[in-house]
């Protein structure tokens, strides 16, 4: 039985990863400081014999014995990571150093959940792993964008200098059940606004694009990357189907049967114009590609938010 540590395990992605690994027979240690994660995401696991929860912040050292480390800890939505930008930098840099130090000491394999944000407002489309990015180092998003870039640097340096067994994945927009109601990401924003009958807030002209990967596909990719041999990354995980923000808004209104209007707002600083992954490497190295289409995935997500909003009033 593998003993697996998941940092940020009570978050959106982390909680789904806990579920899947436990279902596969792993012994899971979940750590979270609950800055953006929620106990509600993992409450159903509290009594499970193969689940352990530790309240801990990765900016402080941790001493446990495990076989693998999924390092997911870090607020991922602009609202949360900009709320305390210095904390976000510390989580990405000091937290990654601490997890790499742990991996080095106990000889565990460690996977970093990096982000498509390392590409910034990309001038290459779709984005391939060889592209170095176009990132503002002093903007309001830099705490996250540059934090993830430094985290990747640390992963590679620990690998080259100390032979730590690493994996790096760059995650593109992911959505699904357990997204926070107030996390500020476009999918959850649109669904919550539509269900409440509020205007859907579209920033800029709405023609900027994103690609949306359902959480079940993303978790499958993370596990394949962790357990696979022959590639350490960086490797893109995301859905290459590209949609404009306006197309997403119209689809959400269709699926919710909502009558909300679209409200235009100014485009935030450093917001990428086009975002879409090239997943050729994931296909070749992992045999992975997304299976859940946007309409199907949104349907599942809308059901979750409908139940959540109904329960919470």
Q: How does pLDDT run along the chain (313 residues), one tens digit per residue?
A: 899 999 999 999 999 999 999 999 999 999 999 988 899 999 999 999 999 999 999 999 999 999 999 999 998 767 677 778 899 999 999 999 999 999 999 999 999 999 999 999 889 999 999 999 999 999 888 888 999 999 999 999 999 999 999 999 999 999 999 999 888 889 999 999 999 999 999 988 888 889 999 999 999 999 999 999 989 999 999 999 999 999 999 999 999 998 889 888 887 766 777 889 999 999 999 999 999 999 999 999 999 999 998 855 4
DSSP state of 181: T
Does a structural domain hold residue 181? no
102 torsion bin: left (phi>0), alpha (psi -120 to 50), beta (else): alpha
Residue 197 token pair: 């009958």
The pair of structure tokens assigned to 150 is 């430094």
Please indicate, yes or no, if residue 311 is contained in any of the structural domains: no
Pairing of the two strands 242-244 and 209-211: antiparallel
Domain assignment of residue 47, yes or no: yes
CA distance 108 to 84: 31
- Give the span between the Cα atoms of 174 and 211, in whole angstroms: 8
Q: Does 205 reside within a domain?
A: no
Q: Tell me which H or E stretch contains 31.
A: strand 27-32
CA–CA dist 100, 84 (Å, integer): 23
**159 membership: H or E segment, kind and range:** helix 142-162
The reply to whether 267 falls in a domain is no
Q: Which of 292, 132, 131, 305 is nearest to 214 (CA)?
A: 292
Instruction: Kindly name the residue from 70, 81, 144, 175 that is annotated as catalytic.
Output: 144
CATH number at residue 132: 3.40.50.720
Q: Can you give the residue range of the structural domain that contains 137? A: 3-173+214-239+276-290
Stated length of the chain: 313
Domain-embedded: residue 261:
no
Annotated active-site residue 131? The verdict is: no
* Cβ burial, residue 287 (10 Å; 0-12/13-18/19+): exposed
> Does 244 fall in a domain?
no
Q: Report the number of distinct structural domains present in the chain.
A: 1
Classify residue 263: in a domain, yes or no: no
């Amino acid at each position: 039985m593998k003993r697996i540590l998941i940092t940020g395990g009570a978050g959106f992605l982390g909680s789904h990863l806990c579920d899947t690994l436990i279902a596969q027979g792993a012994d899971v240690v979940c750590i979270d400081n609950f800055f953006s994660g929620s106990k509600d995401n993992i409450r159903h696991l509290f009594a499970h014999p193969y689940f352990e929860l530790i309240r801990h912040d990765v900016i402080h050292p941790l001493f446990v014995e495990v076989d693998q480390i999924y390092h997911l800890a870090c607020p991922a939505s602009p609202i949360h990571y900009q709320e305390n930008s210095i904390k976000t930098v510390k989580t990405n840099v000091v937290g990654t150093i601490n997890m790499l130090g742990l991996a080095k000491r106990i000889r565990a394999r460690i996977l970093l959940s990096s982000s498509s944000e390392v590409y910034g407002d990309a001038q290459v489309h779709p984005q391939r792993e060889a592209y170095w990015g176009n990132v503002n180092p002093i903007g309001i998003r830099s705490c996250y964008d540059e934090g993830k870039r430094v985290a990747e640097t640390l992963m590679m340096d620990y690998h080259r200098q100390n032979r730590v067994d690493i994996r790096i994945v760059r995650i593109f927009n992911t959505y699904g059940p357990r997204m926070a109601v107030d996390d500020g990401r476009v999918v959850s924003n649109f669904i919550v606004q539509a269900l409440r009958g509020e205007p859907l807030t579209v920033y800029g002209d709405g023609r900027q694009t994103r690609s949306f990967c359902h959480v079940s596909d993303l978790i499958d990719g993370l596990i394949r990357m962790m357990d696979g041999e022959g590639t350490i990354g960086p490797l893109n995980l995301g859905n290459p189907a590209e949609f404009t923000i306006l197309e997403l808004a119209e689809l959400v209104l269709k699926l919710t049967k909502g009558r909300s209007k679209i409200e235009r707002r100014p485009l935030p600083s450093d917001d990428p114009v086009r975002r879409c992954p090239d997943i050729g490497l994931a296909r070749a190295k992992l045999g992975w590609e997304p299976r859940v289409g946007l309409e199907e995935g949104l349907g599942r997500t809308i059901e979750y938010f409908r139940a959540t909003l109904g329960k919470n009033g």
